[in-house]
Structures are given as C-alpha cells and as structure tokens.
Amino acid sequence: MKYLLPALLISLSSATIAQENNTIVESKAAPKNIIMIIGDGMGPAYTTAYRYYNDDPTTEAVEQTIFDKYLTGLSSTYPAADNGKVIGTVTDSAAAATALSTGFKTYNGAIGVDINKKPLQTVLEWAKLQGKNTGVVVTSQINHATPAAYLAHNESRQNYNDIADSYIDDGIKADLYLGGGWKYFIREDRDLVSEFKKAGFHYIDDYSGLTDLPKNKPVLGLFGNSGLPWALDDTNKYRLSAMTKAAVHHLSDYKNKDNGFFMLIEASQIDWAGHGNDIAGAMAETDDLAKTLEYLEHFVEHHPDTLVIVTADHSTGGFTVAANGIYEWHPEILRTMKHSVNYIAKKLAKESITNESASNLFSFTLTKDEVNLLLESKNNPEKQKSKGLYQDKRSSSAEKALLITVKNIIDLRSNSGWTSGGHTAIDVPVYAFGKGSELFKGHQDNTDIAKKIFTLFGQ
C-alpha cells in the first residue's frame, strides 16, 4: 500500500522546524518511547472544571492538577477546507484523529485517508516500521474513530466491521490492543478474536487478566460489547489507568523492547459525556485520565527516554463552568456520585420513586421539588423532549425522559451549562512531559503534533 507522507515544513515556519531539528540532532533528544494521549472532546472547560472537582475543600488554595503541571500550549482543530471555507468549520473525531496521526487535514468521517480518500501513513505505522513495539488503549471500541485513524484506512468511520476486519486483513500493526468491541470482533460472519489467537495473540476479556500478561505474546483485550461501561458504573472506575499500566509494562518488555515503543491512549468517553451534556460522567472520565497521567509521570521519572503528549481532538458540548448568570460552580455533589446518570435513570424507571430511594441513587439528598420533577418525567414522559446522542434507542420513553431530568437536576445543583450536543471549534489544550516535550510549547495546529512525532522518530 502506498502512503502519502506529511510535508514536515507545512504549517511550521522553516526557522522553527530547523531549530527543532538541530536541537534533536545536537542533543540527541529524540525519545525512545512516545505515548500519545487524546482526551476525546476534552476542551479547556473540562480541565478547568476538573481543577475545582479535584480540589481539597478543606484547604484555602485551589490545588494544581496533573493537567496544570504540564500545560505547554494550545492546538487548533479545524478539518480540511469545505469549498475553500475553513473558518467556522468544526471537526469530527475521525478528521481530527487523522490530523493527529498523519499530519494531514482531511474531511469529517475520514479514517487515515486524505481528501481524495488515499491512504496516509500514520505515526503508529511508521513506528512499527522502525522496529518499535506499538499499542492502543482506549475506553471506546478499538475500531472507533480515534484508534482507527492510527491503525486503519477507510473512507468512513461508520464502516465499523470493515475497519475491524482491516486490523487482520491489512496486516497486524499493533502488539497490544485494549478496549471494547465484542460486537465487532465476534460476529456471525467472522470471528476476529479467533483470528487474532491464531496469529499468536493472548486474548483476555476481563480486567483481572491485565495483571498476568505473557511477556512473549502480543495481546488483545476486549472488555465491552462496544465501548466500556461508564467509569462511574464499571467494576474499576480507573480502568483506563489500569489498562495503561499493563500496556506500558508489556510494551516495555516485549520482543522489540530495545527499540522502544509508541502507544496511543484515548480517554474516549469524555466526549460521550459531552455529547450527552453529562457533567457527572465527564468529571469521572477526566478523573480516570488524570490518574493515568499520574502513573505515566511516575513511569517517565524512571524511564526519562519517554515522551508523553496529551491533547484533545476537539471540545464537545459547549460546556461552561457556571451558568445562568450565577457566578458560582458547585462540584461537591459530583464528587459523591457513585452511579452514572444512565444507571440512575434506568433504576428510577423500573422502581418506585421516593425521596429516600432517589437520594440513594444520586448520593445526595434531593429536595421535594426535585423528586416531583422525577415523578412527572416518569408519569408523563411525552412532556420531556428526548435528546442525547448516546442514549440507548431501546430505552423506554420513561427512561429517556428521566435521563434528561436527572441531568437537569445535576446541572442546576452544580450550575453547569451547555450550548450544544455536538462539537465546538475552540482551540484545545496541549500537555507534554518527558524527553522532547519542549517541542510542543506554544500554539500549534493539530497536524503539527503528528509532524513533530514523525521528526522525533527519524522521518
């Protein structure tokens, strides 16, 4: 397969890239390992909110988070021009991930292909050609838009089965895959899990298997039908952190360990929470990512030849920290929540709603008015307009109406605001630490991130 390669000087000043390349050559600063992390949908409002969510309320100061510690700049996210128009164009995850993985702008929905649908080489593919171990760790299905843009080439992100098939048919490109996807990899027409096993992969379908991965085999781990359960509902709410720790240990000790590794990590469901205007879910997913970064910080301290880059593909939901003209935001109720809004709505739809039962589900005491709102939604669901891109279509009308009311109660209690159920065009933060992290300072385009990775890997 012929690939188009990124022109490293496009979108970068020649002086800057020359200076960066000289720095790399003179100081031999190119890292052995690169870990690329995408907080899907994680615009700056999310990491700002996380600072207050994570704050110790017993102290006067607002404590710094792992994100604050390593902020290096911002990135623009727009996709390829639509009829010559760039300003005002909002990216989807596929186009953004393709920009981050290849250094090329493309159209929304594209997976590892350019605007003419020709395949583009990705940084993961290049790393594999350099003899490095490669891996992908996500909380979505492993054939979702972001991981697919590093592993596959397809004209549409919606071709989930074709993308999954390509992980075998186009050659196995990673030594480790962790995430969800049973419905795409174990189908009536094809059992890809069996094919991976025949190719020598060790397969696990439970988090407990992460603690005992064989050093001499590649790994496929699938832990959900499509995406993983919400962090608030999962058996391990820090499942991204757990998967990352297992993956880093495995890739560090696998067959090409002397050459280093490249790994993609995605906190996929920050975006899903944003689409659903679910601040409780968003904070729990961001917390899982923060714990992942804290582990990687420790890893880099002991493996200083490692570079970690963190960014978002776009921001989702138009989330605002404080709304309705009220100059307050109250994360304290979010810290106590033990269930996702989806779980709460499902339970309320099936069981009798009392102040005690509902308050137990929310993990904070509801007012009489809030309980009445829940009862009204359950008894008269037609009055509550349903919305939310990630709502189960099989849900009853009562459950759909309750889901909206549950989120409204949490928004009013925390004073959270939303302007959209989709993506927005704002710039997103970039964080970096480890060897070579200085290259990611300042403002850059999302394509620049891929170009710099290619440069660090010697292209």
- Residues tagged active-site: 93
| Alpha carbons 452 and 307: distance in angstroms, whole number | 12
How many C-beta neighbours within 10 Å does residue 199 have? 11
**Strand 219-222 with 306-311, pairing:** unpaired
The SS3 of residue 34 is strand
How many C-beta neighbours within 10 Å does residue 154 have? 23
**Strand 442-445 with 71-76, pairing:** parallel
Burial class (CB within 10 angstroms; exposed 0-12, middle 13-18, buried 19+) of 269: buried
The tokens 């996709």 sit on which residue?
79
Give which of 286, 306, 287, 284 is closest to 296, Cα–Cα.
Answer: 306
Which phi and psi angles does 225 have, rounded to 5°? -65, -45
| Alpha carbons 127 and 146: distance in angstroms, whole number | 17
Which residues partner with 416 through β-bridges?
321
How many C-beta neighbours within 10 Å does residue 355 have? 15
The SS3 of residue 94 is helix
Rg (alpha carbons) of the chain, rounded to whole number: 22
Give which of 67, 57, 100 is closest to 432, Cα–Cα.
Answer: 67
| Alpha carbons 149 and 107: distance in angstroms, whole number | 12
| Alpha carbons 221 and 434: distance in angstroms, whole number | 28
DSSP symbol at 79: -
Task: Count helices and strands (H / E) in the chain.
Answer: 18, 14
DSSP symbol at 257: G
| Alpha carbons 306 and 30: distance in angstroms, whole number | 9
Q: Could you write out the DSSP letters of every residue in 147-212?
A: HHHHH--BS-TT-HHHHHHHHHHT----SEEEEE-HHHHB-SS-BHHHHHHHTT-EEE-SGGGGGG
